[in-house]
Structure 1
């Protein structure tokens, strides 16, 4: 509470000295007999050069002032701290985290030590003169023109501020001329979380119909209905065949979370994030079991995995944006507040659960795909694409190439159908090509009967057929990167024998730098030069060359999965993007409206 300035007086003193009509008869005096000093104290003149808060309703007349001047550019309302709260503040200061100073101490018991922050002018340079910003501290009950306030909002002259259950202030700024109208007559306003229309509208039914069919990306709900809404969204949109589209769960949860983050108690948001992540994880763990893999079952097994990998990725990106915004909202809160720390732990757990979902679905996808590929890859090494008989050639070519291409084609189709994030699509195929490269390369090194020019040309041709298809599908760059070493070995075996015989160890190593010395030595010592023909002396490695290394590639050296950190692709500022989602949003609005109606007496319900 600030000290009285000239022209400022406590209401209780003015009333006591002037003597209002409700005072006992024995205290009544003729106003003409009042001394000038008492009268002058009753003439309260507000400041003319800075904003102030006029008390409309207080708690204790012996402690409340009539005016509270906003002398600085930041103003904090609160109550006097307890001994324990002062100790916590001193501890934070010792750690270099100084809490905001309280400018006005109020007396009501339902106020927090720091309850409301108002900023103006240089503290908010982006705000026009005459406007300020106000934000409640976490847990502080604040109203703005009669509406519960949870987050920062614009404060204009003439607005009414409520603190707790007792204090009401009128905000004025004498620098703004002419004075704006007062918000003393508060309009009835529907709860921001209700699906019903304001009672002041003539046709409530029509307004309700307009909301239910609106294309705006909005889903309003009460805090008490959050769990029911979560269950409804997940249970009705849990598979790619649910009808809402490939990103229906992510979109519907996003508009739900967006509403909570803007209009509901901040304590609810971390809980919604965690509960939605847990529900998704439960579904994925149940549906993630895979039967014996084969090409025919690829689509049916992979579709739900791709569906949830895509949705979990979109939600992860959206969650991260909301958590960052939530952290920014806390910048004026007391550092180290245990409530905020608990909320951040809850948010971190929600993000970790979505991480688990993405990792699990990715691993299940690549496991199933690589098990299917494993049985198809040997054909690429064993099939002769240059068979003399046309029918046999077509049959063999189909065996060698079509099987592999079908796996890649199915994977690409499913990733596009699921709207999988481009970075995750690239990493999925990167892993498949890594497996293809490692498996074929190890098989090739193991079977030295393939170390001849004629067999190498057949393998090269089959490999080129696959790579050409991948190039046409837009996957050529990824395939070239991860299948580079296989290509190097096949190219080595394709060197004409006459040229290879004339080559030296040094030149071959320089031309095939990706091969380790032990791999190059293995190829040269097992190369089929012909009956009883020994390798030339020029192929011998220099003395001291390390040749004890493993010639085989390790499957454990696969690229790590890097979870995408992107801007969410779901733009909630745009209208609902598809008829399928529009239908589902309308259904959910109707569902929530039904929950609202069930809680009302029969004579207050609105019929559709």
Structure 2
């Protein structure tokens, strides 16, 4: 909406005492006789709203029609309201009217601006938005450090998005008031500060892990969550920063260019934007790389238990809280302690991602990555333990299949799309387990060619490894003998184990971000943190002013002493 240079005026004298004034657009059939005031914008309804004045109370009522865009002092109206002199009435996106009552003594306009991040959706004017800061360029270093320290805090009173929100406010202020070179310096400052904080957290986790290794103790779940929290929190904030710089910052720079009437070189601005995007993307990548490996340290020592535990035994632990319990119901299948511990790691990790407000799509991809790790780790352990006498047996295959289903059932209810990704990432493990869980009578009747067709996820080497160590062995070894074409491939032992390096890279979401221009910020805790930052900036400004005064005082005193000495010299002469 473009604000008109001068308000249109509606006075109470225009409202007949016994009639209702209807404002609207001429209908498609050309009928407009029932509309008292015609407007011509496309977003005005044929009967958009009406004004009525009551003789007894001399009050004027504004009644919006259903689905009509009507505002009073910036507030959208859904029901009739009584007008006061000086009220600003908005109709659609193109009309503003100022209500006057000649019988009133004073006329006071009370316009309320919604609190938005960035350019206001009503006025398109940056300076009128409440969610902004005002600081000198020289204070940026200390401001960014303060924001990063605040964002790293584990206090429950500080929202997860505090750092991204405050840094975005600083970025948009720099984009509007400072030079482009200053904006790039700010982005570099932010990237350097966040990366330094991440490396400190990562080093602390390494020290904790080394300490546990010396004591021969695995990393506990509590230590995992404690170590992951700052990394996930900064991943969440960095993702919001990345989107803001890539998609929101160009809007601010475009607004600034139009405001300055195209004096800047657009081509150069595009180059600057490209550099800023690269900087933000590298920031998110570095945070992601340091975050992924931590969960493996907890999962790795407890996953092998899924190959040995029996979910059908009577003394198994009854039920695990949450989704797995609802899936199992009251049947004979129980959740063994080994499976429960894996589910606890998955559940606590998922809860952490939610607490840190990480984007839902990224959360699903990270949880899917855990299933990718589970697949490779468990499959390799399964292959290595095949040399144990009688390990590849039908009964063991059935138990492993039941335990794996517990994890996949959890994934189906943990988030949108996660179930399908978990099935995809555990396909190789599922194929091997399904083969072992096949009744021996059926397996003995199946040829090598049929097995290759039924289990395409298994390589010839992996399939041959499972069949050659299957217990009890086949009485007809030639039934499972590899075909002549695959003899060489079936005996390549280097291809038996799964690699940990074939995971798909994270795909950045195209939408669903929290910090966007012209979107109202409703979290009062975020606004509270902004107020606290403003107080911090005010303190810095005051201390700088005092410092300037103090620094200038010795010079003044020196000049006074010189003047006094010169006067004494004149008198003595």
The TM-score range, normalised by the shorter chain, is 0.5 to 0.7
Unaligned runs of 5+ in 1: 1-213, 602-608
Is 1:249 aligned to residue 175 of structure 2? no
Is 1:541 aligned to residue 479 of structure 2? no
CA contact (8 A) 1:501 1:536 kept: no
Q: 1:534 to 1:392 in 2, by over 3 A?
A: farther
Residues 362-401 of structure 1 mapped to structure 2, 5 A cutoff = 362-389=288-315, 397-401=335-339
Cα deviation for residue 565 of structure 1 reads 5.8
Could you say which residue in structure 2 is the equivalent of 1:435? 373
Number of equivalences = 383
Cα deviation for residue 454 of structure 1 reads 0.9
Q: Distance in 2 between matches of 1:567 and 1:499?
A: 50
Cα deviation for residue 518 of structure 1 reads 1.6
Q: Secondary structure of the residue that 1:544 maps to in structure 2?
A: helix
Could you say which residue in structure 1 is the equivalent of 2:526? 581
Residues 93-242 of structure 1 mapped to structure 2, 5 A cutoff = 216-241=130-155
Could you say which residue in structure 2 is the equivalent of 1:505? 448
Q: Secondary structure of the residue that 1:444 maps to in structure 2?
A: helix
Q: Secondary structure of the residue that 1:385 maps to in structure 2?
A: coil
Task: Note the alpha carbon deviations across 1:325-382, whole angstroms, 9 max, x for none.
Answer: 5886598756887xx69x83xx666655544443343333321211110101111000
Is 1:560 aligned to residue 505 of structure 2? yes
Q: Distance in 2 between matches of 1:600 and 1:388?
A: 76
Could you say which residue in structure 1 is the equivalent of 2:460? 517
Is 1:318 aligned to residue 232 of structure 2? no
Could you say which residue in structure 2 is the equivalent of 1:409? 347
Q: Distance in 2 between matches of 1:481 and 1:551?
A: 19
Could you say which residue in structure 1 is the equivalent of 2:395? 454
CA contact (8 A) 2:428 2:458 kept: yes
CA contact (8 A) 1:254 1:318 kept: yes
Q: Secondary structure of the residue that 1:419 maps to in structure 2?
A: coil
Q: 1:521 to 1:334 in 2, by over 3 A?
A: same
Which residue of the other structure, out of 212, 216, 233, is the alignment partner of 1:307?
A: 233
Is 1:284 aligned to residue 210 of structure 2? no
Q: Distance in 2 between matches of 1:275 and 1:235?
A: 14
CA contact (8 A) 2:316 2:334 kept: no
Cα deviation for residue 250 of structure 1 reads 0.3
Cα deviation for residue 535 of structure 1 reads 3.8
Q: 1:591 to 1:525 in 2, by over 3 A?
A: closer
Q: Distance in 1 between matches of 2:275 and 2:153?
A: 24
Unaligned runs of 5+ in 2: 1-127, 210-218, 321-332, 547-573
Q: 1:446 to 1:272 in 2, by over 3 A?
A: same
TM-score, normalization by structure 2: 0.60
Cα deviation for residue 267 of structure 1 reads 3.4
Cα deviation for residue 595 of structure 1 reads 4.8
CA contact (8 A) 2:242 2:284 kept: no
- Which moves more between the two structures, 557-566 or 320-329? 320-329
Task: Note the alpha carbon deviations across 1:45-69, whole angstroms, 9 max, x for none.
Answer: xxxxxxxxxxxxxxxxxxxxxxxxx
CA contact (8 A) 1:255 1:572 kept: no
Could you say which residue in structure 2 is the equivalent of 1:479? 422
RMSD over aligned CA atoms reads 3.3
CA contact (8 A) 1:384 1:393 kept: no
Q: Distance in 2 between matches of 1:301 and 1:534?
A: 53
Task: Note the alpha carbon deviations across 1:363-414, whole angstroms, 9 max, x for none.
Answer: 3332121111010111100011222446799999432211100111111011
TM-score, normalization by structure 1: 0.57
Residues 1-40 of structure 1 mapped to structure 2, 5 A cutoff = none
Could you say which residue in structure 2 is the equivalent of 1:296? 222
Q: 1:356 to 1:264 in 2, by over 3 A?
A: closer
Q: 1:396 to 1:374 in 2, by over 3 A?
A: farther
Which residue of the other structure, out of 344, 361, 367, is the alignment partner of 1:423?
A: 361
Q: Distance in 2 between matches of 1:489 and 1:235?
A: 49
Q: Secondary structure of the residue that 2:349 maps to in structure 1?
A: helix
CA contact (8 A) 1:234 1:280 kept: yes
CA contact (8 A) 1:278 1:353 kept: no
Could you say which residue in structure 2 is the equivalent of 1:272? 186
Q: 1:556 to 1:591 in 2, by over 3 A?
A: closer
Q: 1:433 to 1:234 in 2, by over 3 A?
A: same
